[in-house]
Structure 1
Amino acid sequence: MHYRILGGTGIEVSRLCLGSMMFGAGGNTDEAEYHRMVATALDAGVDYSVPNPLDAGYTPPAPRRS
């Protein structure tokens, strides 16, 4: 994974993010699949996600990593 500095913040973030537009009521409601997708993204080095602006009432559960 490649990383970049986020604007002038000094915070380093992955160049790719996990979009969540298809999670929740507007798309896939399978929570187990959601957790698999998040785990795959984390394993690949993705370190942030973009919330779904079309479904503001839905907040996906935070993934738990052991």
Structure 2
Amino acid sequence: MKAFVNSVRAVAREEEGVALTEYLILLALLVGGVITAVGLAGTYLAAVWTAWAGWFTTALAVPA
């Protein structure tokens, strides 16, 4: 475990390691944002779709 921690520290000290860390943080933020947006918009769109389908069912119902 100590070897792993030392290798992480060595990567963090190098410029390329710092850049990699920044890109990984940016990637995590982007992925989190996309998941949040899909979750929020998905719930809203499901509600709108259900309301729209209900309107079609009542508006286009064939009288018996």
Q: Which has the higher contact order (CA 8 A, sep 6+)?
A: 1
**Structure 1 and Structure 2 fold alike (TM over 0.5):** no
Structure number having the greater helix percentage: 2
The structure with the greater share of residues assigned to strand is 1
Larger Rg, first or second structure (1 or 2): 2
